[in-house]
Every structure is written in structure tokens, then in C-alpha cells.
Chain A
Amino acid sequence: MQDLLSSPILSHSLSLFLILACYLVATVTGLTALSARMPRLLLSSCVLALFAFLFQTMTLILGYHKTFGDGLSGGAYLQLFAWFIMLAAVLLWFKLRKPAAMALSSPLCAALFAMSIPYMQQSIRLPDSLNYSFYMLHMGTLFAALALMAVACLVSMLFLILERSIKRKERVKGFLEDIPALSALDTVNGFCILASFPLYTVGILTGILSAKPVFGTSFSGDPKEIVSILIWLVLAFIFHSRIARAWSGKKPAIAMICVFLLSLFSLFVVNTLMQSHHTFH
């Protein structure tokens, strides 16, 4: 950490800590406000998370994430993922007029930022043979799909909690009183399924196409490749079931939670603990 502070990228470090602090405070205030049903505190938490998001957007525009000349750091990828999640939460906030999405996304963003710190100094150098635009398409579509999966996971969890209360005829109380109706949550989940699958497909295809010139083969049995294809297969099944079998309600909700957990495994376990082309080390 001392190395980071004393490095020439001090402004980047400061911005990182500021964003992380905002997300942490937004997490604490947001969760407190949701459990105690304090609308003003919830709004303050959302404003704080929005500030963190806008601040990160500004740092991205200024190019703070490009700390290395030959590629991004592993931490920068995690922060980009947080940015996509918060973008989805902001859109959800404005679409459903329910600020809870922001409050519930803040913990994940805070966790991603906190996890990014150890990987800030580790550059992931892009192979020379990789086309930058093609690579950005690969990353952009995958991160957008992952952010949609995160939102789907969030609304699915809310759906399952609310659905369980209604089914079991328990009193709907606490923050559940403020969340959207089951139909609205299912609609958001459906949108996330329909939008994330094509995006993830583009991400996988661009990955396969760019793997050939870089690694000499389109599929090398890399753990990241295996897990990603597994995610794609599950996502394809959910996508098909939603469209052809009119899957709605509980089943797609459980499925999307599983898909997102698998994505988190792919990001946090495969990228950090396994030997892979995508490792952060």
C-alpha cells in the first residue's frame, strides 16, 4: 500500500480510495436505511453511490485506469466491472424509481474496489498480436453482460424473498414493503436474461476469435475458457427457456443467481487463484 501511495500514480490512488470510501459509506448507510426503512438516509446513500460512480466515470474519461503503458492492471479490470454494475443500478433506479438497487449494488462495488487494491501494481500486458478494438469489444460486452447478470441476481434474490413471504402467507415487512412488485422484478430479470445472453455470446465469440492469433488455438482448455463456456451454456438454456418455454418467476430467478455466482467464481477464483491466460498475476 505504501508503494502505491509513494508511486507517481498518487492521484490515481487518491481517487481509488475516495471512490472506495464513498462505496463503503454508501453500503453502511444504504443497508441501515433499508433495514430501518429510513427513506432520507436511503436517498443519501444513493446520492453517495452516484457520486462514486460519476467520479469513477470522470477518472475513466481522464484515463486514470491506464496506469501502465502496455496494458491495464488486474485491479483496473475489477474496477471496470464495478463501474458496469453501478451503471446498471443507476439505470434501474431511474427506470423503477426505486433507489434500493443502488443501495444493494454498493456492497458489491465496494468489495470489487477493495479487491482491486492488491492488483493495482500488476500489469496485464496485452499480446502484440491482439487488436485493441477487438479486445475492447471482448471486454466491453463481457462486462456489460456480467453487470446485467449482477442486476438479475439482485432482483432475483428480492423476488425469491418476496415470493416466499407471499406464498407462505407471512407478513411482508421491513424493507420488503418498499421493493417493487413480483411482476416488476420478474420483468427486470427477463430483460437482463434477454440482454445479457447476446452480449455474453459476443464476448465469448470475440474471445475465441482473438485466441487463435494469440495462443495459436481457439480453445486451449484454459480454466477461464472452460468456466466461461459453462456459463454461456447455462445462460443459453435460461435464454431459451424464457423465450420458448415462457419461464418466469421462481425458476429463472434461481437460475440467474446460479449464473452470477458462477461468474463471480470465474472472476475471483479462476482469475486470481488458477493458472490461466486471464490471471491477474
Chain B
Amino acid sequence: MDTSIYLVGLNHRTADVDIRERFALTNHCSGETWCIPVTETIRENIILSTCNRVEVLAVGREGTKEEILSAWAKAREESKELLSSCTYAYTGEEAIRHLFLVASSLDSMVVGEPQILGQLKKAYKQASSAKKTGPILNRLLHKAFSVAKRVRTETAVASSAVSISYAAVELAKRIFGDMGKHRAMLIGAGEMAELAAKHLLSAGIRNLYVANRTFSRAEALADEFGGKAIPFEQIFEHLSSVDIIITSTGSTEPIIRAKNITGVLHERKNTPMFFIDIAVPRDVDPDVNGIDNVYLYDIDDLQEIVEDNLTNRQDEAKKARNIVQEEVEYYNRWLKSLEIQPTIVALLKQHEDMAMAELEYTSKHLNLDEEQMAALRVMLSSLVNKLDHAPLMYLKGENNHKEQLERIATIRHVFGLPS
């Protein structure tokens, strides 16, 4: 077999956003717009185009990389030289490893982010619908999905929050569990606070109050999130009915102090409250955290969690890379078995044919009945298998790819099989 797996691509490390935009293939990877044709050289291919990476995975002969780059540059009407200067290319085992790392989100800008697997699945679906995939890529992609699943199950690479807003929501879940039964209040309108509110809503919060010194701004935000705007002066009246409070005002003095909360907590029958203070200077007096059933996290606390989680993800990524390596070896073994398969079949067929021809010739001089002929056929087949055992073991030897190709050539030469 003279084909191999190729991966040509660019990502956030090799190309800045301007280049990534110029070479994006988002509109060139579906149906008739497919930009990498299946040719004599490129047998199968898949295009993955996201905001952080554009990659073409292909099965092909020598020259595949050049054909991919030409077709890609042509599709984007850009210079092939520019494209070549910012792309990386992997072949064989390296390409498989890179794909598994991408699928497992180990090559992402934020290690462990969950989107990439969905994007890869979508890319595979599009390639499959456009009939650009074949047995090798089908198997490879399914393997990549299972590797990603294994990495997520066996390591904690994606288990902790790595953004401040998401870390806040994770903490809220640790306190309240099911978010659907709880209410939140957004005080002020910083970008990060809005992001936290969005995460809370996607985590299941149904009721959101929005308070801002500029009421029209509060109304606009409330409309955006499907919440209810309240005048800034009325926040204390509503505190008793909300469980999560996100503050992000420009106030230079704390707007919520411990003395404000004691009475509120009594009204709430001591049900827990969680304050997320994203403002600098802080909006909530740190003493609030000292009250029973009240939890307060400010921007520094959340930042510390995020940094801790990022470090943890890097540690887990090491474990994940070992899993990827293990899986690359499994896949390679399967791929090698494909390479030796035609030689095995040809060798067995040649010897079987020889044995049966000799039997036919000899049986003409003997008066053998059908039962005796059948017994001789079985005996000869068994003999052929035994004689071929040593060469087959030699073919299946556990060595590198180059040695395997040499072994295939040797067997074909020794037994006179066509190359």
C-alpha cells in the first residue's frame, strides 16, 4: 500500500487571526463547495475549519500535501507560498497523533475546552455527506472520537472552570445544586458580570433581576436576558428573594455591607446567599463572608480558582497525552495490518493454488473417490498453513513502519508475488 495519512493545517500558534481569516474554509467544506477534490493522489479528506484552526486531514499518495495546499490556496484565492509559510504538515503516525490531540482538546488554546470535539464531529459529518471519506478516515475519525471520550472520562482535563464567569457558576452549583429553583440578581453592568449572568441562565436560572444606576441600561439588559429590571434604590428590598447576587458597579465604596445582610437573611429563613463581586473597587464588604450561610467571592478569589484549575488541567493533560500515545499505537497496529493484508492473502492464495493444482495432477493417475479427495484437500490446506506460518509471523513483526515495508518487499520477492 503506497498511501498514507496526511494532515496539513494552521492554528492559533502558527498563524495570527488575520491569516486564519484569510485561509478559513468554513464556506468551502460542504456539498458542492468542497474545495479539496478526491483525485488519484488524494483518496479521502476531511476539512476542519474553526476560529482557531483550519486543518485538512487526508489519505493519499506522495504529493498529497502539495495538492492540498494548491487546492486550499486556490479556493481562497490567496498565495500558496503564504499558506505554506504558516502551515504545519504531519504524515502517518504524527498525523494520527495530532488528530487525537485535537479531538481530545489537548491542542486547543484553552486545554480541555469542549467545543472542538463537536466541531470535529460536524466536520466528519459534512465530509461523509459529501462522500469524501473512505474506510481509513471513517475508522480514524471514530477512533479519534473514542479517544476524546476516554481522555474526558479518565482524566480531569475538562472538569474545572477556566474562566472567571464560569468559575463563579461552578461555585454557585456547589452551593445550590439544581439552579432551576433559584433566583439571581445582577447589580451593575460590567462585561464579566454579564457573562456570568449568561452562564447562570444557561445553567438553569429562570429568574434574573437586573439593577443599574441607569434604569434604561437595566431595562436593556433585562430584555437581553429575559429578566426583570428594578430601580437601583430597590436592591435591598429584592435581596431577600434572590440567592445569587452578581455585583459589578463603578462605586468606590461597598454598596452591600454585613449589617444589610443580617436582616435579609432572617427574612429568607437562613437560606444560603452567594455574592459574586466582580467590581474593582469591591461592591460587597468582605465581612459579609463571615455571616453563616452567606458566601462571598471577589474577582481575586475567582482568578485564583481559575489559575489553580489551569495548572490542574496542564497536569491532567500530561496523563491525557499518555492515553493519546497508547491509542496512536493501537491505531497504527490496525493500519499496519491493513498494509500486510494483501501480501498475506496473495501468499496464502498462491500456495493454496499450487497445492490444489498438484493434487489435481496427481489424482489423475490414482483412482480416488470423493471422500479421499476431500481428505487430501484438507491435509494440503493444513500443510500450506503450517508452511506459511513462519513467513506470516515474519510479516507481522512488531517493528517500525519502514521495516514493515521492507519485510513486505522481501516476502513478495522470495515467493515471487507481484509487487
Add 11 more A-B contacts to A247-B270, A250-B293 (CB < 8 A).
Answer: A166-B295, A169-B301, A181-B173, A181-B175, A182-B175, A182-B177, A182-B272, A183-B272, A248-B293, A249-B272, A251-B292
Q: Are the C-beta atoms of B175 and A171 separated by less than 8 Å?
A: no
- Highest count of chain B CB atoms <10 Å: which of A162, A169, A248: A169
A167: Cβ under 8 A from any B Cβ: yes
A62: Cβ under 8 A from any B Cβ: no
Cα distance, A174 to B360, chains bound together (Å): 73
Cα distance, A213 to B74, chains bound together (Å): 102
A61: Cβ under 8 A from any B Cβ: no
* Nearest neighbor of B265 in chain A, beta-carbon distance: A246
Cα distance, A171 to B269, chains bound together (Å): 28
Chain B residues close to A by CB (< 8 Å): 159, 171, 173-178, 269-272, 289, 292-293, 295, 297, 301, 304-305, 308
Contacts A246-B270, A249-B270, A249-B292; A182 near B174 (Cβ below 8 A) = yes
* Nearest neighbor of A184 in chain B, beta-carbon distance: B177
Chain A residues close to B by CB (< 8 Å): 162, 166-167, 169, 171-172, 177, 180-184, 246-251
Out of B174, B177, B269, B292, name the residue touching A166 (CB < 8 Å).
Answer: B174
* Nearest neighbor of A165 in chain B, beta-carbon distance: B174
Contacts A183-B272, A248-B271, A249-B272; A169 near B297 (Cβ below 8 A) = yes
* Nearest neighbor of B271 in chain A, beta-carbon distance: A248
Q: Are the C-beta atoms of A166 and B171 separated by less than 8 Å?
A: yes
Q: Are the C-beta atoms of A162 and B270 separated by less than 8 Å?
A: no
Cα distance, A118 to B205, chains bound together (Å): 55
Out of A172, A181, A249, name the residue touching B293 (CB < 8 Å).
Answer: A249
Cα distance, A172 to B305, chains bound together (Å): 10
Q: Are the C-beta atoms of A167 and B289 separated by less than 8 Å?
A: yes
Q: Are the C-beta atoms of A248 and B301 separated by less than 8 Å?
A: no
Q: Are the C-beta atoms of A181 and B176 separated by less than 8 Å?
A: yes
Q: Are the C-beta atoms of B175 and A166 separated by less than 8 Å?
A: yes
* Nearest neighbor of A251 in chain B, beta-carbon distance: B292
Q: Inside 8 A of B304's CB, which chain A residues have their CB?
A: 169
Q: Inside 8 A of B308's CB, which chain A residues have their CB?
A: 171
Q: Are the C-beta atoms of A183 and B270 separated by less than 8 Å?
A: no
Q: Inside 8 A of B297's CB, which chain A residues have their CB?
A: 169
Cα distance, A246 to B305, chains bound together (Å): 32
Q: Inside 8 A of B173's CB, which chain A residues have their CB?
A: 181
* Nearest neighbor of B304 in chain A, beta-carbon distance: A169
A-B contact pairs, 28 of them (CB 8 A): A166-B174, A166-B175, A166-B295, A167-B289, A169-B297, A169-B301, A169-B304, A171-B305, A171-B308, A177-B159, A180-B177, A181-B174, A181-B176, A182-B174, A182-B175, A182-B176, A182-B177, A183-B176, A184-B177, A246-B269, A248-B269, A248-B270, A248-B271, A248-B272, A248-B293, A249-B292, A250-B293, A251-B292
Q: Inside 8 A of B293's CB, which chain A residues have their CB?
A: 248-250
Q: Inside 8 A of B175's CB, which chain A residues have their CB?
A: 166, 181-183
Cα distance, A177 to B174, chains bound together (Å): 9
